[in-house]
Structure 1
Amino acid sequence: MATPPTKQSVLNLYHSMLRTSQSFTSYNFRTYFVRRTKSTFREIHNESDPAKLAAFYAEKSQELAVLKRSAIVNQLYGGRRLVVEDQKPVRDRGDT
């Protein structure tokens, strides 16, 4: 039988997934993965079965690795900012 993850390790995984979700440059991907992460961890919040918790933790750990790779690719090929995003002024090298 697999040992269940501690509450702190699940919380650390949650924060890592949120942090990685925030690193997407594309607004649509970023908001989707933040919403998805929150809803997924909300569903498992009151789970007490150790086998289900261990399976959930293992699955989400693998998903975090995929999410990190996807965020890197998205940063490489990110497009322009959308109208709904905060627009920061474009600065030239000579501007201070």
Structure 2
Amino acid sequence: MASGRREILNLYKAMLRESQKFTSYNYREYALQRIRDSFREGKTLSGEEVQEKLKVARDSLQIIKRQVVIGQLYSSPNLVIEK
């Protein structure tokens, strides 16, 4: 269980780190909030459900990485809130 817990924590941190790379404030905040909410919901899961959610989270991490690259290719000016 300890290695499973460590894997979950590492995945959570990796997703948060990667989401910080979004250049758009709105995308960044949305991703961070979704990650936090999803992992909070996952606290009540056990067994097979945890493994399914881990697979979804790994896939989501790959999606976030791709979206960050796309966002960097097509950047937009900063919002007033970001200045």
Indicate whether the TM-score tops 0.5. yes
Bigger relative contact order, structure 1 or 2 (CA pairs below 8 A, ≥6 apart): 2
CA distance in 2, matches of 1:43, 1:81: 32
Deviation at 1:46, TM superposition (A): 3.0
> Which SS does the other structure have where 1:13 is aligned?
helix
Q: Which runs of 5+ in 1 are unaligned?
A: 88-96
Question: What residue number does 1:90 align with?
Answer: none
CA distance in 1, matches of 2:75, 2:30: 16
For 1:21-49, what per-residue CA distance to the aligned partner results, in whole angstroms no more than 9, with x for missing partners? 110000110000000000000100232x2
Question: What residue number does 2:14 align with?
Answer: 16
Question: What residue number does 2:48 align with?
Answer: 51
CA distance in 1, matches of 2:75, 2:35: 21
Moved beyond 4 Å, runs of 4+: none
For 1:31-80, what per-residue CA distance to the aligned partner results, in whole angstroms no more than 9, with x for missing partners? 00000000000100232x21000001011101110110011100111111
**Cα RMSD (Å) of the superposition?**
1.1
- Give the number of the structure whose residues are more often helix, by fraction: 2
**Higher Cα radius of gyration:** 1
Question: What residue number does 1:68 align with?
Answer: 65
